[in-house]
């Protein structure tokens, strides 16, 4: 052992705060805790049977993810969605995904392509009766997650991670999926895989731009129709 080595104990893979973050995040994404609702540490701690410390840390982490906001005189609340929020997040998402698919088209090997395709295969293998908004949202995020991993750009991937929870919230706020959505979802995502395989970075960027803009337009149309999005500021 060298003189400048460190005597450190192994870090546990998960700590209590991780579980609390997951529980509160899932409650927000599933709609059990609605947008605008206050997050009261004492009540959450009692419900989860933990002390207030992990809850406080979890709320801070969820603020960093964009799911929770801190309001003067109200404390922590679940973020509400405005059209400005959607426009901001999707413009950032588009910039990141254009870079990710460009790099994936140049760098992705057989392993990375197989990981992207595996998401589509899981979707196809799921009985239609078992397909829910949550499942489609999970697979949607997982598919794009695989593209970012295929880019081989770790810093880009970490930036993408900061958006995932907010995108998941947007997807979960949609109304029931249209009848043709399951077929169109697979077709649209298969096209993205095909353009990555093709290796033409210009076509890949054009395709992802169309894909993201259509997703944003569908989301806004659904949120406006249901009255769950506020007007632009």
Helix (H, G, I), strand (E, B) or coil at 207: helix
Domain 16-78 - what CATH class?
A: mainly alpha
Q: Is 16-78's fold the same as 83-226's?
A: no
Q: Assess contact for 22 and 14: CB atoms under 8 A.
A: no
Q: What global pTM score does this model have?
A: 0.77
- Annotated domain spans of the chain: 16-78, 83-226
* CATH architecture under which domain 83-226 falls: Up-down Bundle (1.20)
First and final C-alpha spacing in the chain: 60
Q: At what angle do helices 154-172 and 52-65 cross, to 10 degrees?
A: 100
Lowest mean pLDDT among 24-38, 88-102, 181-195: 24-38
Going by pLDDT thresholds of 50, 70 and 90, the confidence category of residue 176 is: low
Task: Encode pLDDT of 70-125 as tens digits.
Answer: 888 888 998 877 888 889 999 999 999 999 999 999 999 999 999 999 999 999 99
**CA gap 159, 154 in Å, rounded:** 9
Instruction: Mean pLDDT check: name the lowest of 16-25, 174-183, 189-198.
Output: 174-183
């Amino acid at each position: 052992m060298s003189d400048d080595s460190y005597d450190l104990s192994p870090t546990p893979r998960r700590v209590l705060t991780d579980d609390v973050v997951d529980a509160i995040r899932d409650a927000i994404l599933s709609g059990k805790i609605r947008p605008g609702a206050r997050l009261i540490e004492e009540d959450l701690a009692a419900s989860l049977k933990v002390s207030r410390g992990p809850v406080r840390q979890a709320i801070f982490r969820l603020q960093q993810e964009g799911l929770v906001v801190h309001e003067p005189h109200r404390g922590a609340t679940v973020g509400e969605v405005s059209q400005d929020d959607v426009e901001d997040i999707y413009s950032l998402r588009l910039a990141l995904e254009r870079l990710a698919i460009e790099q994936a088209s140049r760098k992705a090997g057989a392993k990375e392509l197989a990981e992207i395709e595996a998401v589509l295969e899981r979707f196809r293998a799921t009985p239609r009766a078992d397909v829910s908004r949550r499942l489609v949202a999970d697979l949607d995020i997982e598919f794009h997650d695989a593209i970012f991993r295929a880019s081989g750009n770790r810093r880009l991937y970490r930036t993408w991670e900061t958006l995932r929870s907010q995108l998941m919230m947007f997807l979960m706020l949609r109304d029931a999926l249209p009848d043709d959505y399951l077929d169109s979802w697979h077709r649209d995502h298969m096209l993205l895989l095909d353009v990555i395989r093709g290796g033409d970075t210009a076509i890949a960027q054009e395709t992802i731009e169309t894909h993201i803009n259509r997703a944003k337009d569908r989301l806004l149309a659904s949120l406006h129709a249901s009255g769950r999005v506020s007007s632009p500021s």
